[in-house]
Amino acid sequence: MTEGSVAVTVDAALVLRWMAEIATAVSSERDRLTALDAAIGDADHGVNLDRGFSAVRARIAEAAPATPGAALTVAGRTLISTVGGASGPLYGTAFREMGKSLGDGSDVDDAAFVTAVRAGLDGVRRLGAAAEGDKTMVDAYAPALAALEEAVRAGQPLATAAKSAAHAADDGARATVPLEARKGRASYLGARSIGHQDPGATSTALVFAALHRAAERR
Tens digits of per-residue pLDDT, 118-156?
999 999 999 999 999 999 999 999 999 999 999 999 999
Give the C-alpha distances (Å, rounded to integers) separating 50 from 26, 33, 57, 113, 155.
6, 10, 11, 25, 35
pLDDT for res 7: 54
Backbone angles phi, psi at 62, to 5 degrees: -75, -40
Residues 94/122, Cβ–Cβ less than 8 Å? no
Does 195 have pLDDT greater than 90?
yes
Q: What is the pLDDT of residues 33-85, one digit of tens each?
A: 999 999 988 889 999 999 999 999 999 999 999 999 999 999 999 999 999 77
Percent of all residues in the chain with a pLDDT value above 70, rounded to a whole number: 96
Residues 22/53, Cβ–Cβ less than 8 Å? yes
Q: What is the pLDDT of residues 28-40, one digit of tens each?
A: 999 999 999 999 8
Give the C-alpha distances (Å, rounded to integers) separating 216 from 116, 138, 201, 210.
19, 25, 23, 10
Residues 128/91, Cβ–Cβ less than 8 Å? no
Residues 148-165: what's their mean pLDDT? 96
So where are the chain's domains? 8-216
Fold designation for 8-216:
1.25.40
| Local structure of residue 105 (DSSP, 8 states) | -
Q: Which of 158, 160, 117, 109 is nearest to 140 (CA)?
A: 117
Residues 94/113, Cβ–Cβ less than 8 Å? no
Rounded-to-integer distance, Cα 201 and Cα 21, Å: 17
